[in-house]
Chains A and B, each alone.
Chain A
Amino acid sequence: MASNFRSAQGANKRKTYFLLAAMGILTWLVAYAALTYFGAGTTSFVVPLAVGIALVGVWGSYYGSDKLVLTMTGARVIQREDNPELFNLIEEVLVASGLPMPKVAIVDDTAPNAFATGRNPDHALIAFTTRILEVMDRDELQGVIAHEMSHVANRDTLVSAVAATTAGAIAILSDFLTRMMWFGGGRDRRDSNQNPLLLIVSLVIMILAPIAAMLLRSAISRRRESLADATAVSFTRNPAGLRRALETLAADSTVVRQRSNAVAHIWIESPLDGKSVSKLFSTHPPIEERIETLRAMESLGPQQ
């Protein structure tokens, strides 16, 4: 069904809330499983420890995301004089969105791609590969910039940091607990006669939780990408520009020579090979699906 950008924005936001709530429930389930299996003493020590480790790990990269990503991708910040036309285009999107000026960076790469990061709109950074600036015309590039600025407007660095923290905490927790199980230690009430079925269920939860957390995390990332596409259209009111840009990206088979897989999710087009990653684990919706959604918006005609 064709949907305009407003209903698309609403749907993607609702789905994000739903997925974040599911993350919360999953965390609670793991804590509950630990409680059942190991008892209150161990759990009250292990759960805060896992959450603490995950928080420290993610918070640093969230807070310094603009600077960290620069080193991880080899991007260099440029000024207005270096590319006045690009800055003109960015300023157009800023006028349309009411956002402040981000830092702008260039990545020397033969693959067309772009990304946005930064903990809030005042510390935002958007980057483009040298190739994307060569292959895209004005309208296409405006669509890409609008998509990146949408990530900034929707605070996607924060959303993905929250998702990463929860998924990380669950992974660490599950790791601790399964290790403790192999070594047989830690159970406060080893000889108490607990329901064996409950113990087995707890065991299964602890083992499967990290995978479930990873699936939820990718699902959140996919929803944020669709949301950014819809928000981009709300800025430019020109779905055709972004649609043509995505078609260009889909047609180009070169992939960013990135230095780290850790930043794969921030690019506009996933730099990981789509075929090798299952759809459930991928951080981006299939590009054909995004193109179809935008085409459906175009068919609605000019929107106010």
Chain B
Amino acid sequence: MEIFVVIGVSALLAIFIVAQYNRLIRLNISVDEAFAQIEVQLKRRADLIPNLVETVKGYATHEQSTFDAVVSARAKATSATGVADVAAADGALTQALRGLLAVAEAYPDLKASSNFLALQEELSTTENKVAFARQFYNDNVRSLNEAVATIPTSFFAGLAKVSAREFYEIEDPQSREVPKVTF
């Protein structure tokens, strides 16, 4: 009789351990996948840039410094690896692109051209996708880090070789700005 109890309890224990282990591994994989998604979206954005710069150049000839800033930020972004580096380059490129679009505001002919309008739609949807990919990644990191830090999963983090991961944080002065409140 006792032998069955022992077998039953150890079977339950084994199922429990496997479940915790698998949860950690799954969370870790989803963080990897979420990071890959950021890179996909960043690549899409990088691919749009040469076309955008050429279009703006056609109308705005005296803005060489803005173009250079975008091109060099793009070059940095495409060669970056690792979460912190990619995030830093991503933030710089986001800034440079905002500068480029601000320049475009001053050229009514450019703003009215159908080519530019199409590019603008593509760029704004890609910017949104980049932002959502960052958010999705950070949500996944959040669940993973929570699991690594809380009982019972925390007991198995060593066994699964899973540890807390880095959040994807970009330096964006605009989003850090405290909104003005007037009464």
Contact = CB atoms under 8 A, between A and B. Distances in A.
Contacts, number: 32
B133 A88 contact: no
B78 interface: no
B125 A96 contact: no
A98 B136 contact: yes
B23 interface: no
Contacts of B133: 95
A92 B135 contact: no
B136 A95 contact: yes
B125 A91 contact: yes
Contact of B138 (A89, A92, A236, A304): A304
A223 interface: no
A143 to B, nearest CB: 13
A284 interface: no
Given A85-B121, A88-B121, A88-B125, A95 B41 contact: yes
B122 to A, nearest CB: 8
B48 to A, nearest CB: 13
A168 B22 CA distance: 39
A237 B129 contact: no
B94 to A, nearest CB: 16
B77 to A, nearest CB: 18
Which bracket fits the contact residues of B?
Answer: 10 to 19
Nearest to B127: A92
A126 B81 CA distance: 37
B128 A92 contact: yes
B132 interface: yes
Interface centre among A84, A91, A96, A236 (most CB of B within 10 A): A96
User: Which one of A92, A236, A237 has the highest number of Cβ atoms from chain B below 10 Å of its Cβ?
Assistant: A92
Nearest to B38: A95
A85 B122 CA distance: 9
A89 B125 contact: yes
Interface string B62-101: 0000000000000000000000000000000000000000
Contacts of B129: 91-92, 95
Contact of B132 (A85, A88, A92, A304): A92
B45 to A, nearest CB: 12
A96 B138 contact: no
A93 B128 CA distance: 9
B55 interface: no
B136 A92 contact: no
A95 B132 contact: yes
Please indicate which of the listed interface residues B34, B122, B132 has the most CB atoms of chain A within 10 Å of its own CB. B132
Interface of A: 84-85, 88-89, 91-93, 95-98, 142, 235-237, 302, 304
Given A235-B132, A236-B132, 15 more contacts: A84-B121, A85-B121, A88-B122, A89-B125, A92-B128, A92-B132, A93-B132, A95-B129, A95-B136, A96-B135, A97-B136, A98-B136, A142-B128, A302-B175, A304-B138
